[in-house]
């Protein structure tokens, strides 16, 4: 028989009270602690706790102890918290603060710091280019020894630099003409459309007689618009995990900190668990699939697809016993503020 048939709504009320009590105290929960909050006898609550234990929602460290919620219990508990409301005044304040940080990289850094300050956990913010970014402008600058600095800025205010060495000398005046051609013709275009249109123009017979297009072909071949779509990611707050009762050995704690220092690992975490729809909150309780040292952690996050070709992730990583209400509120407010700031360039 499944737990849905065995357990009543009152069972889940008691379960969620146990989880909340465990978050607050970190100690196994006794029936009398819950009886103080509910008009039921300790004996009735004990019977319900037995049912919850049998269904895998609780476990008992030893026979004389209270009960401890399992990952399944935490997952049930956090489902009751998804209805967090956005406070407009707080959203406006955060949006002003994030927008004032400057470009995308600075906004990502500020967002992660805000998450850490609000939750006292590990705050993560990332901007991942999708390939559909919009060109703002290019700049071409002559350097010594036939080298050229190519600078590309996209509308999301991300900047890529690349230095190339050419076989021929090109004057700064010629570079300015090439820059003006690209900015005039393609400023505001989505990158895939620029590639298609440039290829069409360069394939025309007349391109062989057009001095500007000849130069454009040269820089295009040097990867002028191949931006190397590198994610921007920032995280803060690993120090907040020191001293938490995570039941980790010293070696596992070292492994945890090594894992949290790897951007690749953090990106894997975001991509694996934040696959929900745009703007929809996601909560993952237990992260042992990513790394054994993260089995007692939860991830709360949200993702947004921005019109400028970026996919953004805003998340909080914390112990399973974190303050979920505060973390959910922080993620929703900072995420919405980041998206709002991106709409006002």
The answer to which of 85-99, 171-185, 216-230 has the lowest mean pLDDT is: 216-230
Pair (238, 300) in one structural domain = yes
Pair (236, 316) in one structural domain = yes
- Which of the listed residues 20, 41, 70 is the one where a domain comes to its end? 70
Confidence of residue 244 (pLDDT cuts 50, 70, 90): low
Pair (243, 327) in one structural domain = yes
Pair (235, 336) in one structural domain = yes
Secondary structure (3-state) at 48 = helix
pLDDT of residue 119: 92
Confidence of residue 57 (pLDDT cuts 50, 70, 90): very high
pLDDT of residue 169: 87
Our count of domains for the chain comes to 3
Percent residues over pLDDT 90 in the chain: 21
77 within a domain of the structure (yes/no): no
Would the pLDDT of 65 be above 90? no
- Which of the listed residues 194, 221, 248 is the one where a domain comes to its end? 221
Pair (141, 261) in one structural domain = no
pLDDT digits over 188-236, tens only? Answer: 888 888 888 888 888 887 877 788 888 888 888 888 777 666 778 888 8
Pair (139, 124) in one structural domain = no
> Taking residues 156-180, what's their average pLDDT?
86
Pair (117, 177) in one structural domain = no
Would the pLDDT of 55 be above 70? yes
76 within a domain of the structure (yes/no): no
Pair (183, 317) in one structural domain = no
Residue 333 is part of a domain; what is its CATH number? 3.30.450.40
Would the pLDDT of 4 be above 50? yes
Confidence of residue 172 (pLDDT cuts 50, 70, 90): very high
Closest CA to 272 of 116, 293, 264: 264
Pair (112, 240) in one structural domain = yes
321 within a domain of the structure (yes/no): yes
pLDDT of residue 240: 79
39 within a domain of the structure (yes/no): yes
Confidence of residue 42 (pLDDT cuts 50, 70, 90): confident
> Taking residues 244-250, what's their average pLDDT?
65
What element of type H or E holds 336? helix 324-343
11 within a domain of the structure (yes/no): yes
- Which of the listed residues 24, 45, 70 is the one where a domain comes to its end? 70
Cα dihedral: 105, 106, 109, 113 (round 10): -160
pLDDT digits over 95-125, tens only? Answer: 999 988 877 888 899 999 999 999 999 999 9
pLDDT digits over 305-335, tens only? Answer: 876 667 888 999 988 888 898 999 999 999 9
pLDDT of residue 2: 45
pLDDT of residue 1: 40
Pair (98, 200) in one structural domain = no
Domain hosting 269: range is: 82-130+230-343
Confidence of residue 152 (pLDDT cuts 50, 70, 90): confident
Cα dihedral: 296, 294, 323, 44 (round 10): -20
> Taking residues 167-196, what's their average pLDDT?
89
Residue 152 is part of a domain; what is its CATH number? 3.30.390.60
184 within a domain of the structure (yes/no): yes
Pair (311, 249) in one structural domain = yes
pLDDT of residue 162: 84
Pair (201, 180) in one structural domain = yes
200 within a domain of the structure (yes/no): yes
75 within a domain of the structure (yes/no): no
Residue 23 is part of a domain; what is its CATH number? 1.10.10.10
């Amino acid at each position: 028989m499944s737990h849905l048939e065995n357990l009543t709504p009152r069972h889940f009320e008691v379960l969620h009270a146990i989880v909340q009590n465990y978050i607050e105290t970190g100690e196994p929960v006794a029936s009398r602690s819950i009886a103080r909050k509910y008009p039921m006898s300790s004996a009735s609550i004990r019977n319900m706790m037995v049912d919850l234990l049998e269904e895998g929602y609780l476990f008992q460290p030893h026979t004389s102890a209270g009960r401890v919620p399992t990952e399944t219990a935490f997952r049930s508990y956090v489902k009751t918290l998804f209805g967090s409301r956005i406070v407009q005044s707080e959203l406006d304040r955060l949006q002003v603060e994030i927008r004032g940080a400057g470009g995308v990289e600075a906004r990502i850094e500020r967002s992660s710091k805000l998450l850490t300050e609000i939750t006292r956990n590990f705050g993560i913010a990332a901007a991942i280019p999708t390939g559909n970014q919009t060109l703002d402008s290019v700049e071409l600058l002559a350097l010594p020894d036939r080298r050229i600095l190519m600078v590309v800025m996209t509308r999301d205010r991300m900047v890529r630099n690349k230095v190339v060495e050419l076989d021929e000398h090109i004057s700064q005046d010629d570079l300015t003409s090439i820059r003006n051609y690209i900015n005039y013709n393609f400023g505001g275009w989505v990158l895939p459309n620029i590639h298609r249109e440039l290829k069409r123009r360069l394939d025309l017979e007349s391109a062989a007689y057009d001095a500007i297009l000849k130069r454009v072909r040269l820089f295009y071949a040097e990867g002028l618009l191949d931006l190397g779509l590198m994610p921007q990611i920032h995280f803060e707050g690993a120090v907040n995990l020191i001293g938490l009762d995570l039941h980790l050995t010293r070696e596992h704690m070292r492994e945890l900190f090594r894992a949290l220092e790897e951007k690749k690992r953090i990106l894997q975490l975001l991509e694996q668990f934040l696959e929900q729809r745009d703007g929809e909150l996601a909560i993952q309780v237990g992260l042992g699939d990513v790394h054994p040292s993260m089995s007692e952690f939860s991830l709360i996050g949200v993702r947004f697809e921005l019109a400028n070709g970026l996919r953004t992730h805003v998340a909080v990583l914390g112990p399973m016993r974190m303050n979920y209400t505060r973390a959910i509120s922080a993620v929703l407010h900072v995420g919405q503020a980041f998206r709002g700031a991106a709409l006002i360039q």
